[in-house]
Amino acid sequence: MNQYVIHGGHPLFGEITVSGAKNAAVAIIPAALLVDGVCRIENIPQISDVTALLKILEQLGAKIRFLTPSDVEIDCRHITTTQVSQELAHKIRASYYLIGALLGRFGEAEVSMPGGCNFGGVRPIDQHVKGFVAMGAEVHEGDFIFARAKEGRMKGASVYLDVVSVGATMNIMMAAALADGMTTIENAAKEPHIVDLANFLNSMGADIKGAGTDTIRIYGVDKLHSGSYAIIPDQIEAGTYMVAAAATGGEVLIKNVIPKHLEGISAKLRETGTIVQEYEDAVLVKGASTLRKINLKTMPYPGFPTDMQPQFGVLLCLANGTSVITEGIYDNRFKYVNELRKMGAEIQVDGRVAVIEGGRRLSGALVQACDLRAGAAMVIAGMVANGTTEIEDVHYIERGYERFVEKLCALGADIRVDEEQETEQGRDNLVYVG
């Protein structure tokens, strides 16, 4: 497994360009299965989750052709099977989107689910299943999910989500795009990637209205056609670089962003004293000489995103005073705190609340990337710490950040990648989350 070796103490300066949004790409790629034609998808992030999903589509019979490293053509005219092999599907959380897409187009799907324990707790998909069942599918859950539209084609239905779920909203949208009749999703998630998926499907001939509000209406159509679409910039990648600039006390212009999508992150950064200036498609972040304590709570969009919580956890270790973070989405997303404590952080966790005693100087240590965002947070911690930090399990980071080390080094970070030989067994044991 690769390791990152970081020598801390180098403020970040310069410009950086954000890639396409991971959580939009991992939905839009499976959604290409709904299209009886060729989709050209631009601004695809070069990350391992995307590679895995494209391989899955190829195994199902799709033809994949890269026009540039971030521009791909997917031809799903001749899909040969609706059974997704376990080998790749169990490694990515987003493999659940294959169920909605295959059900929507072919009326059946067999997909293995990601195993293991994510963020230290269960991440159920009951709301996805509730939607499929309401639309006339029978669903059997185990290590594999078997789903079949009882009448061969999904039927429009009204679905009220008991929890605001990004995954369930997008999965139901996919299952409904080619359904017989209209589907309504109430209490839908409103994240930018929900709107992006709806825009993608609409540009291929779907009829989806209301994405970005809590009521989405999907009028089923008979067929989706060829088209081309560019994925939105990654809100969380942008936010991660914003925090990295603030934490190191640097000054970074972050380009290719939609500032509106960053409002929650920008607002909380400003509360710490960090300067954030918005431009049409860029933000400039200037670190403050002293950071102020803040309290924050993660919530569904437009609230503060849970995927930025660990990065802010690191930033607040550096702030003057005591900050409180409340995790409003997941039962347990504080595993990274143990790693930060190894670097000298003083953080108490009680359930969904972390109390951070700021004003501590972090020191280099051997730590782990517990998951994707926790891993990014440890990289930020390493960049501000005294001495050398070694981070293990960085494969998690590479699932969701395109050329992370290269981009940070271009801003002045001192990070080396130590490559180690990966054993077959080691690779098989990986559990991916995201």
Q: Which is nearer to ligand EPU, 38 or 50 (CB)?
A: 50
Q: Which is nearer to ligand EPU, 300 or 382 (CB)?
A: 300
Among 8, 12, 18, 23, interactor with ligand EPU by CB under 6 A: 23
Q: Under rule CB under 6 A, which residues in 322-351 are in contact with ligand EPU? A: 329-330
Binding flag, residue 168, ligand EPU (CB under 6 A): yes
Q: Which is nearer to ligand EPU, 89 or 291 (CB)?
A: 89
Binding flag, residue 126, ligand EPU (CB under 6 A): yes
Q: Which stretch binds ligand EPU (CB under 6 A): 108-116, 159-167, 225-233, 285-293?
A: 159-167
Amino acid at 2: N
Amino acid at 423: T
| Distance, CA of 395 to CA of 412 (rounded, Å) | 22
Residue 320 makes CB contacts below 8 A (sequence gap 6+) with: 290, 291, 292, 293, 358, 359
Q: Which stretch binds ligand EPU (CB under 6 A): 40-48, 117-125, 361-369, 381-389?
A: 117-125
Among 67, 117, 163, 410, interactor with ligand EPU by CB under 6 A: 163
Q: Residue 410's Cα: distance from chain center in Å?
A: 24
| Distance, CA of 154 to CA of 330 (rounded, Å) | 31
Q: Is the peptide bond before 11 cis (omega within 30 degrees of 0)?
A: no
Binding flag, residue 310, ligand EPU (CB under 6 A): no
Contacts with ligand EPU: how many residues (CB under 6 A)? 24
Binding flag, residue 94, ligand EPU (CB under 6 A): yes
Shortest separation between residue 371's beta carbon and ligand EPU, angstroms: 7
| Distance, CA of 238 to CA of 47 (rounded, Å) | 15
Per-residue interface string for the shown chain with ligand EPU, residues 188-217, x marking contact by CB under 6 A: -x----------------------------
Q: Which is nearer to ligand EPU, 205 or 239 (CB)?
A: 239
Q: Tell me, what DSSP letter sits at residue 320? A: B
- Residues designated as active site: 117
Q: Which is nearer to ligand EPU, 9 or 124 (CB)?
A: 124
Binding flag, residue 372, ligand EPU (CB under 6 A): yes
| Distance, CA of 131 to CA of 140 (rounded, Å) | 14
Q: Which stretch binds ligand EPU (CB under 6 A): 6-14, 50-58, 122-130, 380-388?
A: 122-130
Binding flag, residue 123, ligand EPU (CB under 6 A): yes
Which residue's CB atom is positioned nearest to ligand EPU? 167
The b-or-e profile of 249-278 (16+ CB within 10 A means b, else e) is bbbbbbbbbbbebbebbbebbeebbbebee
Please state, as a whole number, how many other Cβ atoms lie within 10 Å of the Cβ of residue 57: 23
Q: Which is nearer to ligand EPU, 36 or 307 (CB)?
A: 307
Q: Residue 335's Cα: distance from chain center in Å?
A: 18
Shortest separation between residue 117's beta carbon and ligand EPU, angstroms: 12
Among 306, 311, 323, 389, interactor with ligand EPU by CB under 6 A: 306
Please state, as a whole number, how many other Cβ atoms lie within 10 Å of the Cβ of residue 395: 18
Binding flag, residue 166, ligand EPU (CB under 6 A): yes
**Helices 166-177 and 126-134: angle between axes, nearest 10 degrees:** 20
Shortest separation between residue 355's beta carbon and ligand EPU, angstroms: 22
Instruction: Output the CA–CA distances (angstroms, integers) from residue 49 to 142, 307, 340, 367, 379, in the order listed.
Output: 23, 16, 26, 23, 20
Instruction: Output the CA–CA distances (angstroms, integers) from residue 31 to 95, 202, 308, 390, in the order listed.
Output: 11, 11, 26, 38
Q: Give the phi and the psi of residue 258 in degrees, each rounded to 5.
A: -110, 100
Per-residue interface string for the shown chain with ligand EPU, residues 415-434, x marking contact by CB under 6 A: -------------------x
Binding site for ligand EPU (CB under 6 A): 23, 26, 93-94, 123-128, 163, 165-168, 189, 306-307, 329-330, 372-373, 400, 434
